[in-house]
Structure 1
């Protein structure tokens, strides 16, 4: 199924007939099965689906962290498919931000040093005004000199969010960003991400299994068996949960039919 944005907004990232195949012969696994999807600039998109649906694989290919077997990936107008490793590394440093479930902060660096690390590696300096905006937005000004071990899980993830935002990337990819957080800390992080889209025009693509987390998004894309099968605009947690229940039922039904055959 092809999902195409038709609102006239610029596209931040897109997949065109993307296939991702692992292994061969009887061990072959088709993780993505001809996926075509466009992700609008300045929009918060959640990607959801049953376990093994291909949602993380789709995010990794869109972010240039994994290659595709067939098809094309674009960040803005830049074609990732066929890029050299060096060019991909440079693109990820300049155009893409990442937020991971495990925070991925360096324990020996302060919060401020962790936030500025990607820019330092790229040999760039933060825009002072934007840096101050990001720090105020995440609400960690009084924690900048603290190391990760001195911060709560929610504070560490907000440091990771600030690190992703400070370079003003074209798109931020978030992989289960609230998976290791309690509900209050998770809500703080999601509100921050929602705010960065609404107030600053950031583009965020988030993989999540949590219907409540997905309700912060503008749009939810649903995958099953490596294909885009549905979407929701302006989603509520209940509407997302209903969609997921329907997908789970279809997957179980298909598995039962396969075993019966």
Structure 2
């Protein structure tokens, strides 16, 4: 049974019910998601793990309204994503969802400060200066705000991307392998900030990762295989996650 299936968390920030994603047709069809039911609690840090091809990133992209499921329901911050047209989907992604990607996705011609506020500038929304200063301060980006991405290290670029994801106070942040291109020190800095944003500011975060050490920052780890959830773990440690992954044949 999938985690939380058959019941809805009272204060879930995002849910999926019967979520499927099929690529191709007939005998060539690939079932990337095979009827997923999941709740992500508000104010919690969840990590999603599983072997390559298990459906981790597909799930995240469907939950974040970056991809359309074949069937099933996705609800984000009380909004049924399947009922939205293109403009409403754009507003949802812009106003209620934050993104942190492995490849940073920064605009090379903009400064760090401009990259951080870009989504809000596009939306015509005023930046909360106090919150902006808090996020920039926690991430230690103050001295780097005038620098362009090519003048920043990988860790600094990912911290800029993290600030961009959080400065608009989204309902939920989706992070897809956010430390995949970082060294261990930079990884710890970014993960520490994500953890702190949950503990101190009540942020909700869902992170896809293949690294047990990264998953250990989460409150909860859910494990996927063959497009379905197969297990979950609370209060993970790197060691307990590694042991579970070994039983799944991922290592």
Q: TM-score, normalised by structure 2?
A: 0.97
Deviation at residue 9 of structure 1 after TM alignment:
5.6
Helix, strand or coil: the match of 2:82? coil
- How many residue pairs match? The answer is 250
Residue 255 of structure 1 is matched in structure 2 by none
Q: Is the 8 A contact 2:221 2:236 kept in 1?
A: yes
- C-alpha change, 1:9 and 1:238, in structure 2 (3 Å) is farther
| Aligned-pair CA distance for 1:7 | 10
Give the greater-gyration-radius structure (CA): 1
- Residue in 2 that maps onto 1:120: 121
RMSD (CA atoms):
1.5
Q: TM-score, normalised by structure 1?
A: 0.93
Contact 2:116–2:163 (CA under 8 A) maintained in structure 1: yes
Q: Secondary structure at the match of 1:3?
A: coil
Q: Deviations over 1:95-122 (max 9, x none)?
A: 0000000001111111000000000111
In 1: Cα distance, 2:249 partner to 2:82 partner:
32
Name the counterpart of 2:198.
Answer: 197
1:10 corresponding residue in structure 2: 11
Write out aligned runs for 1:110-149 (5 A): 110-149=111-150
Q: CA deviation at 1:82?
A: 3.4
Matches within 5 A, 1:106-255: 106-248=107-249
Structure 2: gaps (5+ residues): none
Q: How far off its partner does 1:245 sit?
A: 0.9
Give ranges in structure 1 of 5+ residues lacking alignment.
253-261
Distance 2:138 2:203 in 1: 13
Any idea what the Cα deviations from partners look like across 1:179-220, whole Å, max 9, x if unmatched?
A: 000001001100010000000000000000000000000000
For structure 1, which segment, 81-90 or 148-157, has the greater mean C-alpha deviation from structure 2 after superposition? 81-90
Name the stretch that deviates more: 127-136 or 215-224.
127-136
Q: Secondary structure at the match of 2:207?
A: strand
Give the conservation status (yes or no) of the 8 Å contact 2:77–2:96.
no
Distance 1:93 1:110 in 2: 20
Q: Is the 8 A contact 1:108 1:147 kept in 2?
A: yes
Kindly state the Cα deviation for residue 124 of structure 1 after the two structures are TM-superposed: 0.6
Contact (CA 8 Å) 1:9, 1:41: kept in 2 or not? no
- CA shift, 1:17, in A, is 1.0
